[in-house]
Amino acid sequence: MEHLLELAKRNQERAWEVIRQTDIINIWKSVGAEMNLVGSLNMGLLMKHKDIDFHIYTSPFRISDSFQAMARLAENPLIKRIEYGNSLDTEEQCVEWHAWFQDPDNELWQIDMIHIVKGSRYDGYFEKMAERITAVLTDETRQAILKLKYETPDTVKIMGVEYYQAVIQDGVRTYAELEDWKNNIQSQALSNGFHKNIIGQTVKNRSLSYSSGSSCPMYTLR
């Protein structure tokens, strides 16, 4: 287990270095944004997926502010690609940006920036979820989550919230148990249309199928 903890620590340190090298926080602050780190890095649960997740709020909401921030980010020669999606006309009410940063080892880090309309349905939603998860984490459950993330094949897509619920709420400890748990959850969701998540709120089962790159993919926090 020690080598897994060391790997997680090293990757989390690398993630913070990416944040420093991109100056991404100051870039968004320059357009008056409030920027919240969410997802696995925020909770100390980043393992091998090189993802950094931010939720961003401005008041008033202006798409031009988003583009201004991305124009500054794109000036960094280590940013190799940027993608944009507009979901303002959906219940998510957000604009999403995905940028890829090349580190000194030539590995790509994905930076997900979800620019959310203040007062909308998901304003602060996942920040609160992270607080609830962090509050109930123990050393044992943290290690179990990191181990499961490490053991998950790169070709298998499992959302962060699924790991957290499986381990913390349902006692899953091995990858085989996780596979069984996921199959059972999917079957239940298909049969009743709803699924209770870890923060005690009911989530429509379509949220269980979100994947990276989907419309404002806030359920992909890993």
Report, as an integer, the average pLDDT of 150-166: 94
CATH numbers and ranges of domains, the chain? 2-123 (3.30.460.10), 127-220 (no CATH)
Instruction: Read off the DSSP letter of residue 185.
Output: H
pLDDT in tens, 59-111: 999 999 999 999 999 999 999 999 999 999 999 999 999 999 999 999 999 99
Cβ proximity of 173 and 181 under 8 Å: no
CA Rg value for the chain: 17
The pLDDT > 90 percentage for the chain reads: 82
Confidence band of 52 (pLDDT split at 50, 70, 90): very high
Q: Residue 133: which residues within 8 A CB-CB, separation 6 or more?
A: 43, 164, 168, 198, 199
181 HSE (CA, 13 A, CB side): 19
pLDDT in tens, 117-152: 999 999 999 999 999 999 999 999 999 999 999 999
pLDDT given at position 194: 42
